[in-house]
Chain A
Amino acid sequence: MRDAYRYFPFLPDARVRAQQLGVNPASADETILSAVAARLQRILSGNYDMPLLSEKSELLFFALARAMLSALDTPLYYDRFGKFYARRAERAPSEYRMYLFSATGLGDPRAGVPLATYMSFRHVYPETKLYHLPVSKGVVFVPNHVLPALAGAVAYSLAVKGLPIPLDRIPESIRKWAKQAVPKVSLPRGSGQSGRWGFIESILKLSGIPDGRKRIVLYWIMPYLITVKGLDVDTAVSIAKEWAERQGAKILESWLRSDAENVKRKGLHPWSPQKVRAVSPDVFRMLQEMGVFQ
């Protein structure tokens, strides 16, 4: 089913098919990039009912859209992009849906899906309880009515997998078009920020943060200074100490050093704002009020 790539341009061997069709994102001209940016903008605005293009166009759009999304590097946009393909998979004719399952190693889910895989997509069909399904030897036999939601969940995860693509692998010609894909009602990123960790730079410039300062060091400052910027432990500790003093917080140097060494030993990365919003809403809200996130 070759034209399955029209529906699912994220399939594992889509790249091979794209080469066969002569799809070359790097050589896309201004007309194509402009059209891609416009279509992506509609998707990022929440318009998920786009007409299907030809197989070649869908493959080209997918590659270029992912590059533009990476340049924008905004988790909410990744989410909307994933939802677009999820919706497409949910509504695809059943033979296409079955092709999606077999091409992604799930085979025919009616013949069984690994328990862990099934449970990892569990949130999309909460009303179907596991005990009402046949389960044997770590395999769940999925009923027909769950298949569309399962297909959507698989499509979502594959469409956003590997995002963001490192910027140095995205040609400047594509990057400059990314801004055209930003929806009219744009997502605020905080003033003067750029790049994925721009907001941490903003936090480092702040003073007078009243609360949650240790958590900010744990979530962002120390991993950013050591893992992202590659600073040594001594330098990172002295920057964090100076920052803490500016906030009026008494954080022991031994505590900072212990955390810095832990970050270095384990190679910990800063948390995304979304993760902090989920686990420490108070800290997120406070920084939001201070203009770091809007």
Chain B
Amino acid sequence: MSELLARVLKDAFRRYYRSHSVPAPPNIDEREFGVGDYGRKIVRRHMSFATEREFQRYLREEAPLYISYSVGYFERPEATPMEAKGLKGADLIFEFDADELGLFSPKDIWICNHCGAKGFVSDLKGVRPGICPRCKDPAKVIMFPDPEREERLKQEVDTLIKDFLMSDFGISSREISVNFSGNRGYHIHVRSEALRQLDKETRVELTEYITGQSLDARYFFDVTSVPMRGPKPSDPGWPGRIARSVIKAIRSSKDVSDLVMLGVDPRMARRIMRERQTILDGILRGVWPFLSREKDVFASITALVRALSPFMGKEIDAGTSADIHRLIRVPGSLHGSTGLAAMPVSNLKSFDPYRDAVVLPERPYLHLHVDMAPEFEFAGQTYGPYVDKNIELPLHVSVFLISKGVARWSLATRD
């Protein structure tokens, strides 16, 4: 991002902060803050504000391109080094980024880090996004608005909240807030008095619970019983989730190959399809007579659950959840990489980040050279597709394209 663009952006940010009051994070006098500028998300940290007023005055006067606050609560948030701050507790944060969850879209663009080749993901025939089809080196994937991906991302957030945080962990909806990150995903903030004191290791374990990392299905079966007893769909936690996953897989499979595709051993898959109804009735009662005591059987079950569970074996950013010194975007502030607002989401179902979080103005218009962009919706308008095109676009979408690295600004502007 050029300094000139940063100046234009800064003016727009300042106008935003002067006309909007960004609410201070709870317990503001115990939080550490960090701010960023010109492509560096944190250039200064160990800042603190005693009151919301002081915080809002800072935003109005300085209009930082990025402002983040600590998930931790400290005796002295401004003290250095970190250990001098006196940690009192920390919120629990879950970070959902579309790229980390592997939610790629045909609209995305890949650019090879090595040979510079680029193209649309839709043209990658059988090659995983993230690998250059020409030289096989790692490629950067640039994500564009795609309603289908947005829906899937929101579904995953919803599953985390309902199936894990509320249903398993018993966290009330009042203690959970969902925030659009301002870029590629969502942050789920859990502000629970009971969980605030959890240490790093315990937070890692909660994340592992959600992802089911290293889960071994054998644990839930009584291998000494005849017929073998195991989990029922109504059981709490992972045992019930396993039973429900297996039932779902059996019900939705049309033939043996569907089960094999989900990781089930072919011999077992044949037996399941042959005795389908009896097996389903048995699982509902916690009886699994079709299972032998071989280790491979449980590996099959684990593979099947892995294939059907939303987060099992996937990358929820455990680092974010475990890092009690982490700084995270202030809800309501602007994201300097996209110009979108990192905003609290009250109705996840109807939320559209590329409509609701667009808060920068249309003006000034900027003359851009766009290397490559698909057709996409932004602020209620359709843009693209563009390939090596010179075009004049509103400020909000210009900032978005430039920050994605697919457009350059030529100096002429129109008010």
Count residues on chain A whose CB falls below 8 Å from chain B CBs.
30
User: Which residues of B in the span 173-203 have a Cβ within 8 Å of any Cβ on A?
Assistant: 192, 194-195, 197-198, 201-202
Chain B: minimal CB distance from A273 (Å): 14
- Whether B170 pairs with A268 at a CB distance below 8 angstroms is no
- Whether B215 pairs with A132 at a CB distance below 8 angstroms is yes
Partner-binding segment picked from A87-95, A101-109, A213-221, A243-251 = A213-221
The yes or no answer to A252 lying at the interface (CB within 8 A) is no
The yes or no answer to B168 lying at the interface (CB within 8 A) is yes
The yes or no answer to B58 lying at the interface (CB within 8 A) is no
Give CA–CA (A134, B209) in the complex, Å.
Answer: 11
What residues on A are CB-neighbors of B79 within 8 Å?
218, 259
* A-B pairs under 8 A by CB, number: 94
Count residues on chain B whose CB falls below 8 Å from chain A CBs.
36
**What residue in chain B is nearest A114 (Cβ atoms)?**
B194
Give CA–CA (A131, B170) in the complex, Å.
Answer: 15
What residues on A are CB-neighbors of B170 within 8 Å?
114-115, 136-139
- Whether A136 pairs with B216 at a CB distance below 8 angstroms is no
Q: Interface SS of chain B: helix, strand, loop or mixed?
A: loop
- Whether B202 pairs with A119 at a CB distance below 8 angstroms is yes
Chain B: minimal CB distance from A17 (Å): 31
What residues on A are CB-neighbors of B167 within 8 Å?
136-137
Among candidates A120, A133, A262, A279, residue contacting B76 with C-beta atoms closer than 8 Å: A262
- Whether B208 pairs with A129 at a CB distance below 8 angstroms is yes
Give CA–CA (A279, B209) in the complex, Å.
Answer: 28
- Whether B205 pairs with A219 at a CB distance below 8 angstroms is no
- Whether A280 pairs with B169 at a CB distance below 8 angstroms is no
What residues on B are CB-neighbors of A262 within 8 Å?
75-76
- Whether B168 pairs with A136 at a CB distance below 8 angstroms is yes
What residues on B are CB-neighbors of A129 within 8 Å?
205, 208-209, 214-215
Q: Which residues on B are within 8 Å of A, measured CB to CB? A: 75-76, 79, 81, 83-84, 86, 167-171, 192, 194-195, 197-198, 201-202, 205-206, 208-209, 212-216, 219-220, 235-240
- Nearest 10 interchain pairs by C-beta: A138-B170, A136-B236, A279-B83, A116-B194, A135-B237, A137-B170, A134-B236, A134-B237, A132-B219, A131-B209
Q: Which residues on A are within 8 Å of B, measured CB to CB? A: 114-116, 119-120, 122-123, 129-139, 141, 214-215, 218-219, 259, 262, 266, 268, 271, 279-280
